[in-house]
Amino acid sequence: MSQGHMAVSQQAIHDVACPIRGIIDRVSGKWNVQIILAVSQGTVRFTGLERSIEGISRRMLTLTLRGLERDGLIIRTVYPTVPPKVEYTATDLARELYEPLEALAAWARRNRSAIAAARDAYDHEHRVIA
């Protein structure tokens, strides 16, 4: 079996053995939190998400949206217009996540200066030793 197939097989075994980790990884991913928070505010179009999430590429936004849709956290609706109109809406599962994710985001906003200072102190201390 090739290395690639081994990694996929090992990941599948891990997902069965530890399903909660896979769910937490999906929900807490770099872009997932921002997308879930955005769609929980109401229906939003792809371009609206793209504009509201700084630094995300179109491809990463597309892949992340597909994953969230697969997990039942968002609903994708395509309207047969030219060009196609695509909207994303939070499911009840995602809306249930809104409050804890918003609390986490608020904590991060409140503490970003303290965390930045701690990182700077750590880096300074370990740079001198190294």
Note down pLDDT in tens along the chain; length 130 residues: 445 455 555 655 555 556 788 888 888 888 999 999 999 999 999 999 999 999 999 999 999 999 999 999 999 999 999 988 999 999 999 999 999 999 998 999 999 999 999 999 999 988 865 4
Residue 46: which residues within 8 A CB-CB, separation 6 or more?
A: 61, 65, 86, 88
The answer to whether the CB of 50 falls within 8 A of the CB of 58 is yes
Q: Two tokens at 18?
A: 């530890």
From the number of C-beta atoms within 10 Å of its C-beta (0-12, 13-18, 19+), residue 35 rates as buried
Model pLDDT, residue 1? 47
CA 103, chain centre distance (Å):
15
Model pLDDT, residue 28? 82
The answer to whether the CB of 25 falls within 8 A of the CB of 71 is no
